Structure 1
Amino acid sequence: MNQEPETRIHKNAIKAWTVNALLYGLFWFVPAGFYVSIAIGINSDSQAPWHEGVDWVLFASLFIIGLFLYLTIAFIFPKLRWKRWKYDVSDKEIDMLRGIIIKKRTLVPINRVQHVDTRQGPVYRKFELASVTISTAATTHEIPALDNETADELRNTISTLVRKVKSDV
């Protein structure tokens, strides 16, 4: 097997992914917490059998476990994800290595690339990052969290390599 890719994505990826995880987590945890608190509040005044059987220790335990998972996903996973994300671009292929638990390595032949884009959402914009998306006939691949200059250079380099390969055919 080929040597592993060497190039890392930008270090600000950790901050951007942390902010994304915190924001996305709010969309899951706040509505769930709101629903549970209303459900408990409605049933607290009634004589419903459900309320009598509420185990507050279990409820508190589930809350603590949920909070632990939320914070782990927000603060631990981005660091692990950044450590594992590497890529390289050569005249023949784009090599990407990623994965927290399961390593995934993708080799995209340059002659299969149809087009290359850069993309930047509000969180990436805040941290001056951009993603490079590489489209083939089968799927789209992404190299995330590159600084703006590197993303533009990489997009242009891949585009130039594709034009060169397709003009040789």
Structure 2
Amino acid sequence: MREQPKNNIAHDAVKAWRITASIYMGGLFLLIIVGAVLSYIFEITYLYVGIAIVIWVLFLFVFVHLIPKLRYRRWRYEIFEQEVYIQHGILVVTRTIIPMIRVQHVDTEQGPILKRYKLATVSISTAATTHEIPALDEEDASTIRDRISVLARVDEDDV
């Protein structure tokens, strides 16, 4: 079996993923509040609200604290002359090899949370799908995008 890729994504990815998960968990908490208000208005037992809050606290721990750390530990990538090698996953580790000859275009993406931490995601598009290397430093993302772009150029004689 092939060795795992050597390069890690930026450590600030954990912070960005935690903020994103917190936003989703905040939305879920608002739904619980709405359920509590409806329980009060229609005089339904608060047992379901209590169960929902316990589940919410469990989800909060798992999705905000646990998963971002595990996700960061598993994300690896490496750029070779002929291929891009990506590894990710928490329970099921996926290792993907993208041949340079199949790369159609490469993009960098940056949302507001990634921008706050000066991170960007590199998207590698092939005819079949798009692969991402998330949460890289802005400079690293630009360098990787340009390098893959140069390596993916193929003369018509080579095809």
Instruction: Give your verdict on TM over 0.5.
Output: yes
How far apart are the structure 2 equivalents of 1:37 and 1:60? 9
Unaligned runs of 5+ in 2: none
- If each structure's helix is expressed as a fraction of its own residues, which one has the higher value? 1
Q: Paired residue for 2:92?
A: 102
How far apart are the structure 2 equivalents of 1:9 and 1:143? 8
How far apart are the structure 1 equivalents of 2:127 and 2:28? 34
Instruction: Verify the 8 A CA contact 2:39 2:46 in the aligned structure 1.
Output: no
Count of aligned residue pairs for this structure pair = 157
Q: Paired residue for 2:12?
A: 12
Could you state the TM-score of these two structures normalised by the residue count of structure 2?
0.93
Which one has a bigger Cα radius of gyration?
1
Q: Paired residue for 1:118?
A: 108
How far apart are the structure 1 equivalents of 2:78 and 2:36? 50
Q: Paired residue for 1:130?
A: 120
Partner secondary structure for residue 76 of structure 1? helix
Q: Paired residue for 2:39?
A: 40
Partner secondary structure for residue 95 of structure 1? strand
2:33 counterpart letter in structure 1: F
- 1:76 CA drift (Å): 1.1
User: Quick check: 1:82 aligned with 2:61?
Assistant: no
How far apart are the structure 2 equivalents of 1:150 and 1:104? 23
1:122 counterpart letter in structure 2: P
How far apart are the structure 1 equivalents of 2:39 and 2:46? 12
1:39 counterpart letter in structure 2: L
Q: Paired residue for 2:3?
A: 3
Could you state the TM-score of these two structures normalised by the residue count of structure 1?
0.87
CA-to-partner distance for each residue in 1:114-148, whole Å, 9 max, x for gaps?
00000000000001000000000000000000000
Partner secondary structure for residue 23 of structure 1? helix
**Overall identity of the aligned pairs, in %:** 38
| Corresponding residue to 1:156 among 139, 143, 146 | 146
How far apart are the structure 2 equivalents of 1:142 and 1:25? 24
- 1:55 CA drift (Å): 5.9
Moved more, 84-93 or 60-69: 60-69
How far apart are the structure 1 equivalents of 2:148 and 2:13? 22
Unaligned runs of 5+ in 1: 45-50
Instruction: Verify the 8 A CA contact 2:106 2:148 in the aligned structure 1.
Output: yes
- Deviating beyond 3 angstroms after TM superposition, the runs of 4 or more aligned structure 1 residues are none
Instruction: Verify the 8 A CA contact 2:106 2:125 in the aligned structure 1.
Output: yes
Q: Paired residue for 1:139?
A: 129
| Corresponding residue to 2:53 among 51, 60, 63 | 63
Structure 1 pair 98/151, CA: closer, same or farther in 2 (3 Å)? same
